[in-house]
Amino acid sequence: DSELEPIPPPQLAEPGTQGIIRGRDLFGYVGIEAVLDQMRRKTMKAGFEFNIMVVGQSGLGKSTLVNTLFKSKVSRKSCTPSYEEKISRTVHLKSVSHIIEEKGVKMRLTVIDTPGFGDQINNENCWDPIVKYINEQYEKYLTEELHITRKRRIPDTRVHCCVYFLPATGHRLRPIDVEFMKRLGKIVSIVPVIAKADTLTMDERLDFKQRIRQDLQASGIRVYPQKEYDEDVEDRIRNDKIRENIPFAVVGTDKEHQVNGNKVLGRKTKWGIIEVENVAHCEFANLRDLLVRSHLQDLKDVTHYIHYETYRVRRLNESNASVSGLSALPLENGITEKYEAQSQL
Amino acid sequence: GMDAIMLQEKLVERLLCARGRTMRQKVDKQYVGFATLPNQVHRKSVKKGFDFTLMVAGESGLGKSTLVNSLFLTDLYKDRKLLNAEERISQTVEITKHTVDIEEKGVKLKLTIVDTPGFGDAVNNNECWKPITDYIDQQFEQYFRDESGLNRKNILDNRVHCCLYFIPPFGHGLRPVDVEFMKALHERVNIIALIAKADCLTPNETKKLKDRVRDEIERFGIKVYQFPECDSDEDEEFKQMDKELKECTPFAVIGSNTVVEARGQRVRGRLYPWGIVEVENQSHCDFVKLRNMLIRSHMHDLKDVTCDVHYENYRAHCIQQMTSKLAQDNRMDSSIPILPLPTPDAETERLIKMKDEELKRMQEMLEKMQQQMHEKDQ
């Protein structure tokens, strides 16, 4: 014999949770978390893009660091120390793309190098070509987005992260550092690092970092992860820990040595081997974890939802304001300052 | 530092392990570690949650509400009053929306059901689909405005991701109103055709009806939702399931709001003197296939096709209309910001012209078919 009973209406868990039907109240199981699987499959198929820019004077180990980060020769230089390069007269940007794969996840990594930055006698405005490049990528994306027939996936050449190399002087930020980061911090996520940190003792390192953090705050420079973009308490706790430790002091190399029977990446000196991936020696692993293992997607999101949107709004306002038509050029730094000056009137 | 990352990875593992598949990303020293990328993306999605808008359409009494309740294990319609015949004479086609938040294993889904009471119920049903196409277009327009606006932080996506269209099992295939409705909607929304109340059909009758409906859908050029092709690197089990799914359409469904005892278990079903129909018994009906397809395997693709195909078509059409109107009026007072794009080149213009001509041809074909059907009826 069988019984007929109407299904009871879903019990609301507590007052104040009106309208939310919890899994345990349902008779059975709908299976909605399978959507995660579907998304995963799709994103794995499509692959990921990541564009990282490195900025700093010649000889600070930018290319080496990027190669070490991604364990492949992805930057424009090989790592052989005998490689000599003439210091170029102007800052010109070089971008190199590679597709790297790991455990079925494909990534199109683009490294944008900025040789010539800060190398001249007079370095005024050496950041201009960099600002121009970044804005050009935003403009490219915007044009695609506004097109009548759009691509399903707009190719993303926007700079997701700008790693800024500070020489390990042990003192403070230099004027060029402040000038650069002030301007760029408004349009891209900057991750400052202390380069070639094997000349600093642990104490010197701590003091140096503290002074840098003070300088950053005093100059109103916002570096990644920016406090105002923390989405919730969980993010804030996670990112506070990072903010208390930046800039990371890094050492890079592609050479391997034997230490205690293991092969490690390191720099061999007469007084010992500096193990790059040993957190007791330097913070390379922390930087790698931040950039690649935990915050890579977040870097892209901040670029897309915040920096790019800011650019877009300014651009659209500009185009609406002009009656006769639109300038064909993307926003330049000068215009930004002009807008700021005007808004203070 | 490191423990925050481990915590995040643990959280994602816990969530993804629910399906019994180990997706452990053991990131050790040998790897760079960007294989955690899918997990990073997921973490954000789990925090944000998903949303899905499902429309149901078909005449009254075909079991739409019951099916929706069965699919999502809800009771959305418990306060509904059925109108009597006289009240229904003057009823027009309405659009009603119900939203419910469902949470399962930490994943949040905001489900919106768009219902179309009154569709096909009147004596004269000419263009009874117009309120429905208008509704779909309005959601597209709203999204287009929001997307083109200056503040894009919290855009609400009310676009309809899928429309379940209920075909009565009593007839011999598609009726004129079925054809007209689906043709009016197939370029605006993903249509999934269902054979309703399939418990009045024997297995043979079901097969015959399905074959006939599939055949007519193709003949009339109705573009129902197509399941995407299986990847070549999927496992055999998945490919087999996918094949069975495709061969089973249109799904013959049965829904139930009641629980019965059958074969020692409590199941959703319908009790008849001659036996018990179990909704989730795959030999009784295709309910499980529909639910799995809609929720467990193709929800994301339905949303993608809505965004990448139907919405983009609407948007392109909209922009073209706007730019041609602006050219006529010679004014730039559109509220939707657009960069004045260069006039389309010869190639684009040729494509636009081709599409227009194709649309015109389809229109003529439809008119001819309509005429044929009228003649057949007489």
Which residues, 6+ apart, have CB-to-CB distance to A247 below 8 Å? A166, A191, A192, A193, A194, A209, A212, A223
What's the pLDDT score for residue A13?
34
Query: pTM for the complete prediction?
Result: 0.76
Indicate which of B9, B25, B29, B32 best probes the interface with A, i.e. most A CBs within 10 Å of its own CB.
B32
Tell me what the mean pLDDT of segment A291-295 comes to. Answer: 89
CB contact under 8 A, A316 and B150: yes
Among chain B residues, the shortest Cα distance to A298 is held by: B40
Residue B247, φ and ψ in degrees, nearest 5: -80, -10
Q: Shortest Cα distance from A149 to chain B (angstroms)? A: 6
Instruction: Choose among B72, B344, B348: nearest Cβ to A30.
Output: B72
What's the pLDDT score for residue B135?
95
B55 DSSP β-pair partners:
B114, B163
Instruction: Choose among B33, B37, B152: nearest Cβ to A288.
Output: B33
Q: How far apart are CA A160 and CA A65, in angstroms?
A: 17
Measured between beta carbons, the chain A residues lying within 8 angstroms of B319 are: 148
3-state secondary structure of A54: strand
Tell me what the mean pLDDT of segment B231-243 comes to. Answer: 77
B320 pLDDT band, cuts 50/70/90, is confident
Q: In this predicted model, which residue has the larger pLDDT, A160 or B20?
A: A160
Indicate which of A11, A30, A42 best probes the interface with B, i.e. most B CBs within 10 Å of its own CB.
A30
Instruction: Choose among B291, B299, B339: nearest Cβ to A38.
Output: B299
Tell me what the mean pLDDT of segment B12-25 comes to. Answer: 40
Residues 46-75 on A with a CB inside 8 Å of B are: 48, 50, 69-71
CB contact under 8 A, B102 and A289: no
Per-residue pLDDT tens digits for B277-297: 999 888 999 999 998 888 888
Q: Shortest Cα distance from A271 to chain B (angstroms)? A: 25
Tell me what the mean pLDDT of segment B217-231 comes to. Answer: 89
Q: Measured between CB atoms, does A149 come within 8 Å of chain B?
A: yes
What's the pLDDT score for residue A103?
85
Q: Measured between CB atoms, does A24 come within 8 Å of chain B?
A: no
Per-residue pLDDT tens digits for A64-93: 888 888 887 777 664 444 445 566 667 888
Q: Measured between CB atoms, does A278 come within 8 Å of chain B?
A: no
Conformational region of residue B10, where left means phi above 0, alpha means psi within -120 to 50, and beta covers everything else: alpha
Lowest-pLDDT range of A196-200, B32-36, B89-93: B89-93
Tell me which range, A127-131, B95-99, B172-176, is most confidently predicted by mean pLDDT: A127-131
Q: Measured between CB atoms, does A175 come within 8 Å of chain B?
A: no
Among chain B residues, the shortest Cα distance to A287 is held by: B1
What's the pLDDT score for residue B144?
92
What's the pLDDT score for residue B40?
85
What's the pLDDT score for residue A336?
38
Q: What is the DSSP letter of A170?
A: S
Q: Average pLDDT of chain B? A: 80
Q: Using alpha carbons only, what angle is made at residue A167 by residues A166 and A172, rounded to the nearest 5 degrees?
A: 75
Tell me what the mean pLDDT of segment A263-273 comes to. Answer: 88
CB neighbourhood size of B265 (10 A): 9
Q: Using alpha carbons only, what angle is made at residue B178 by residues B172 and B180, rounded to the nearest 5 degrees?
A: 135
Q: Shortest Cα distance from A40 to chain B (angstroms)? A: 6
Does B80 have pLDDT greater than 70? Answer: no
Q: How far apart are CA A89 and CA A84, in angstroms?
A: 16
What is the share, in percent, of chain A residues with pLDDT greater than 70?
A: 81
Does A157 have pLDDT greater than 50? Answer: yes
Measured between beta carbons, the chain B residues lying within 8 angstroms of A37 are: 16, 19
Per-residue pLDDT tens digits for B90-148: 667 888 888 888 888 888 889 899 998 888 887 778 888 899 999 999 999 999 999 98
Does A341 have pLDDT greater than 70? Answer: no
Q: Shortest Cα distance from A280 to chain B (angstroms)? A: 14
A97 DSSP β-pair partners:
A110
Residue B176 contacts residue B231 (beta carbons within 8 Å): no
Instruction: Choose among A26, A70, A148: nearest Cβ to B316.
Output: A148
Tokens 């971008």: give the residue.
A95
Q: Measured between CB atoms, does A321 come within 8 Å of chain B?
A: no
CB contact under 8 A, A2 and B261: yes
What is the share, in percent, of chain B residues with pLDDT greater than 70?
A: 79
Q: Shortest Cα distance from B318 to chain A (angstroms)? A: 9
- Residue A93: what residue type? L
Q: In this predicted model, which residue has the larger pLDDT, B369 or B182?
A: B182
Does B216 have pLDDT greater than 60? Answer: yes
CB contact under 8 A, B107 and A35: yes
Q: Measured between CB atoms, does A301 come within 8 Å of chain B?
A: yes
Per-residue pLDDT tens digits for A24-64: 344 567 788 888 888 888 888 888 999 999 999 888 888 88
What's the pLDDT score for residue A326?
40
**Six token digits for residue A177:** 């550092």
Tell me what the mean pLDDT of segment A142-165 comes to. Answer: 91
Q: Shortest Cα distance from B180 to chain A (angstroms)? A: 28
What's the pLDDT score for residue A335?
40
Q: How far apart are CA B117 and CA B95, in angstroms?
A: 7
What's the pLDDT score for residue A87?
63
- Residue A296: what residue type? L
Q: Using alpha carbons only, what angle is made at residue B292 by residues B290 and B294, rounded to the nearest 5 degrees?
A: 65
The alpha helices in B271-311, defined as continuous H runs, are: 287-291, 299-305
CB contact under 8 A, A39 and B15: no
CB contact under 8 A, B296 and A27: no
Instruction: Choose among A20, A142, A309: nearest Cβ to B103.
Output: A20
End-to-end CA distance of chain A: 84
CB contact under 8 A, B104 and A32: yes
A322 pLDDT band, cuts 50/70/90, is low
- Residue A118: what residue type? G
Q: How far apart are CA B147 and CA A146, in angstroms?
A: 10
Q: Measured between CB atoms, does A325 come within 8 Å of chain B?
A: yes
Instruction: Choose among A5, A104, A294: nearest Cβ to B8.
Output: A294
Residues 91-130 on A with a CB inside 8 Å of B are: 100, 102-105, 107
Q: Measured between CB atoms, does A297 come within 8 Å of chain B?
A: yes
Tell me what the mean pLDDT of segment B155-165 comes to. Answer: 93
Q: Using alpha carbons only, what angle is made at residue A302 by residues A298 and A303, rounded to the nearest 5 degrees?
A: 115
CB contact under 8 A, A44 and B38: yes
The alpha helices in chain B, defined as continuous H runs, are: 2-16, 37-48, 64-72, 85-89, 130-148, 176-185, 203-219, 236-247, 287-291, 299-305, 312-329, 346-377
Q: Which helix (H) or strand (E) holds A312?
A: helix A308-321
Q: Supply the Cα-derived Rg of chain B in whole angstroms.
A: 24
What's the pLDDT score for residue B251?
95
Does B327 have pLDDT greater than 80? Answer: no
CB contact under 8 A, B339 and A33: no
Comparing CA positions, the residue from A203, A192, A272, A201 lying closest to residue A225 is: A192
What's the pLDDT score for residue B16?
46
Measured between beta carbons, the chain A residues lying within 8 angstroms of B258 are: 4-7
Instruction: Choose among A23, A241, A294: nearest Cβ to B40.
Output: A294
Instruction: Choose among B33, B99, B341: nearest Cβ to A292.
Output: B33
Q: In this predicted model, which residue has the larger pLDDT, A219 or A331?
A: A219
> What strand order describes the sheet that includes A272-275?
A256-259, A262-269, A272-275
Q: Shortest Cα distance from A224 to chain B (angstroms)? A: 15
Does A329 have pLDDT greater than 60? Answer: no
Comparing CA positions, the residue from B200, B304, B103, B334 lying closest to residue A30 is: B103
Per-residue pLDDT tens digits for A250-262: 998 878 888 888 8
Within 13 A of A134's CA, how many CA atoms are on the CB side?
A: 30
What's the pLDDT score for residue B102?
84
User: Pairing state of beta strands B265-272 and B258-262?
Assistant: antiparallel
What's the pLDDT score for residue A327?
42
What's the pLDDT score for residue B354?
73
CB contact under 8 A, A48 and B37: yes
Q: What is the DSSP letter of A18?
A: T
Tell me which range, B2-16, B38-52, B174-188, is most confidently predicted by mean pLDDT: B174-188
A339 pLDDT band, cuts 50/70/90, is very low
What's the pLDDT score for residue B26?
34
Q: How far apart are CA B345 and CA B187, in angstroms?
A: 26
Tell me what the mean pLDDT of segment B139-160 comes to. Answer: 90
Measured between beta carbons, the chain B residues lying within 8 angstroms of A43 are: 37-38, 41
Q: Which helix (H) or strand (E) holds A39?
A: helix A34-46
Among chain A residues, the shortest Cα distance to B305 is held by: A152
